[in-house]
Amino acid sequence: MNKSMGRIVISASALSVIAIVTVIAYLLFDIFWNGKNTLSWAFLTTAPTDGMMQGGIFPVIIGTVSLVLIMSIAGVPVGVITALYLSEYARRTSVFTKMVRFAVNTLAGVPSIVFGLFGLGFFIQFIGMNLDRALMPAGELHWGQPSLLWASLTMALLTLPVVIVAVEEALRAVPEDLRAASLALGATKWQTILKVVLPNATSGILTGTILAVGRGAGEVAPILFTGAAYFLPHLPESLSDQFMNLGYHVYILATQSPDVEATKGLQYATVLILLLVTFGLNLIAVMLRYKLRKASRQ
Amino acid sequence: MENNSEKIIVNNLDLYYGKKAALDNINLSILSNKVTALIGPSGCGKSTFLRCLNRMNDLIPGVLIKGTVLINGRDIYESSVDVVSLRKKVGMIFQKSNPFPKSIFENVAYAPRVNGINNKKELFEIVEKSLRKAALWEEVKDNLDKSGLSISGGQQQRLCIARSLAVEPDILLMDEPASALDPISTSKIEDLIFELKANYTIVIVTHNMQQAARVSDKTAFFYMGELIEVGDTKMMFTQPTNKRTEDYVSGRFG
């Protein structure tokens, strides 16, 4: 009885593994196979043409890169400071710490479309509109509309928990001995954080950033209402411009183009680039984390 | 510095972890330019007491300290005392050597840099002087750029001593500084302690009776959070007045 139960469990897990691996392998192969003919240097370096039926995805790549860059510049410092507070200053048992932690965990569980709606309501309609009322001639819209800035800030909110969790883990991995040594030498707490704690957590901060970038590069829902453009013939030139985005571009090609069948090659190649970007970033994060763990064990 | 003057005077010191008393009414005077050994079984409060002398216990939440600790005549628990400048006068060596993951040079230069010294030449002079005092200079002078973690355990502990000396403290607190070291490294640390006492007041916690007998001038025996007996090391090991001291130093318990 026990023996046959064991066999069933082993077979079931083997089947599950095979199923998962097959699905992933099929997906990757399918994307690669259908996208490879479209993929070319010109595809990466030119703009879409002929009503997005032809041409490349250059502005789409640039739009995505700008998005994650501004997102990181805005979000990572906030994440690092929050993690510093949680790891170095907060008393673990205090009510306020528990509230911060609860907020971070809740933020991580909020559906991404809700972030998009929040971005539209808060950044564009509240902050943007009020900026326009204060700065622009009556009735003119500048900040009160979807833009690279608002989309990046919305995405920064979405990825904040990722940064906080990764950085806090890295800060806690810095041995207590080193903090004690620095304090016993007459360094202040802030000097200790600046000169001992943060330098030893650098790879963790990088890991957090890269994980956030990987997430931000792949998400579409938060930028639907806050800045992604259907089609822009030029690159975004300022923070108040809209921009094109890899994930959104795939959606547009697959649902909005006059001849969906004809754009299949473009769709596959765009998805391939999107996957390469996110996988690549995650791979770097995994390698950095491995390095961090190894270093903290020594 | 006057010989046999009282460098540290502890009066009626109590320490609580939450509600649990860890030190009970400690009264102890520590003399300038002498080595004072704190001995006693594990958990007797000797390390806790040591950490009262540079206020490292402040870092532990829920610790309550009563009584006074006078260093150079001033109570270090007074509210006007700056803990950071106190710790510059009272250096500490930890049980487990804890060099920063930086070069040997940067380890010793850490505190001077924190104090705002950035001149390369000045830093180099401090680093050389401190490493010489810690009897490490000859061994590492050609490898100052190597990581502080790349040298042996005994060398790392002497590096930590050099790092403390770079702040120019008066007092050195040592918390079982040789307990993780092999006998040869241990004897080097002990020789060093003997040399350092000419210029520093040293308080050392040790589990090793022979070590206490070898390096210290005065010995204080702690038991269950109380200071049982203190006296000249020779007397403590040959004719202790208290029965528990006698049992402990002769190895009958602990």
Q: Who has greater pLDDT, B28 or A297?
A: B28
Q: What is the pLDDT of residues B107-126, one digit of tens each?
A: 999 999 999 999 999 999 99
Query: Nearest-CA distance from A199 to chain B in Å?
Result: 10
Which residues in chain B have their CB less than 8 angstroms from residue A175's CB? 98
Q: Identify which of A91, A195, A298 has the shortest CB distance to residue B149.
A: A298
Tokens representing A39? Answer: 């993929």
Q: What is the pLDDT of residues A208-255, one digit of tens each?
A: 888 898 899 989 999 999 998 888 878 888 898 999 999 999 998 888
Which residues of B32-122 form beta strands (DSSP E)? 35-39, 63-71, 74-75, 90-93
Looking at the complex, does the CB of residue A22 fall below 8 Å from at least one CB of chain B?
A: no
Query: Nearest-CA distance from B236 to chain A in Å?
Result: 31
Cα–Cα distance measured from residue B50 to residue B36, given in angstroms and rounded to the nearest whole number: 11
The residue assigned the tokens 């754009």 is A263
Cα–Cα distance measured from residue B128 to residue B136, given in angstroms and rounded to the nearest whole number: 9
> Is the pLDDT reported for residue B4 higher than 90?
no
Q: What is the pLDDT of residues B58-81, one digit of tens each?
A: 888 889 999 999 999 999 999 899
> Is the pLDDT reported for residue A46 higher than 50?
yes
Computed over every residue of chain A, the mean pLDDT equals 89
**Residue in chain A lying closest to B101 (CA):** A200
User: Measured on CA atoms in the order B99, B104, B106, B107, is the torsion positive or negative?
Assistant: positive
- Share of residues in chain A with pLDDT > 70 (%): 98
Whether B151 contacts B140, CB under 8 Å:
yes
The residue assigned the tokens 């370096």 is A45
Whether A226 contacts A146, CB under 8 Å:
yes
Order of strands across the sheet that contains B6-17: B20-31, B6-17, B63-71, B74-75
What pLDDT score does B1 carry?
Answer: 42
**pLDDT level of residue A296 (50, 70, 90 thresholds):** low
Q: What is the pLDDT of residues A131-183, one digit of tens each?
A: 988 888 877 888 889 999 999 999 999 999 999 999 999 999 899 999 999 99
Q: What is the pLDDT of residues A71-116, one digit of tens each?
A: 999 999 999 999 999 999 988 888 999 999 999 999 999 999 999 9
Which of A185, A291, A296 would best serve as a mutation to test chain B binding (most B beta carbons within 10 A)?
A: A185
What pLDDT score does A295 carry?
Answer: 65
> Is the pLDDT reported for residue A294 higher than 60?
yes
User: Where do the structural domains in chain B lie, given as residue ranges?
Assistant: 6-249
> Is the pLDDT reported for residue B3 higher than 70?
no
What average pLDDT does the segment B79-99 reach?
93
Q: Which of A88, A209, A201, A98 shows the shortest CA–CA distance to A156? A: A209
Q: What is the pLDDT of residues A270-281, one digit of tens each?
A: 999 999 988 888
Query: Nearest-CA distance from A96 to chain B in Å?
Result: 16
Which residues in chain B have their CB less than 8 angstroms from residue A187's CB? 84, 110-111, 114
What pLDDT score does B206 carry?
Answer: 93
Q: What is the pLDDT of residues B197-243, one digit of tens each?
A: 999 999 999 988 889 999 999 999 999 999 999 999 999 998 888 88
**pLDDT level of residue A51 (50, 70, 90 thresholds):** confident
Q: Identify which of B56, B61, B113 has the shortest CB distance to residue A180.
A: B56
A156: amino acid identity, one letter: A
Tokens representing A198? Answer: 């943060």
Query: Nearest-CA distance from A198 to chain B in Å?
Result: 12
Computed over every residue of chain B, the mean pLDDT equals 92
Q: Who has greater pLDDT, A288 or B253?
A: A288
Query: Nearest-CA distance from A205 to chain B in Å?
Result: 18
What average pLDDT does the segment A188-209 reach?
91
**Residue in chain B lying closest to A296 (CA):** B101
Interface of A with B in 164-223 (CB under 8 A): 175, 177-178, 180-188, 191, 195-196, 200
* CB neighbour class for A172 (10 Å; exposed up to 12, middle 13-18, buried from 19): middle
> Is the pLDDT reported for residue B2 higher than 50?
no
Give the A:B interface size as CB pairs under 8 Å.
Answer: 61
Looking at the complex, does the CB of residue B111 fall below 8 Å from at least one CB of chain A?
A: yes
Whether B103 contacts B47, CB under 8 Å:
no
The residue assigned the tokens 């998400």 is A219
CB atoms within 10 A of CB A4: 8
> Is the pLDDT reported for residue B254 higher than 70?
no
**pLDDT level of residue A204 (50, 70, 90 thresholds):** confident
Q: Which of A212, A115, A98, A127 shows the shortest CA–CA distance to A164? A: A212
CATH topology of domain B6-249: Rossmann fold (3.40.50)
Q: Which domains, from first to last, does chain A contain?
A: 36-297 (1.10.3720.10)
Q: Which of B160, B180, B205, B209 shows the shortest CA–CA distance to B50? A: B205
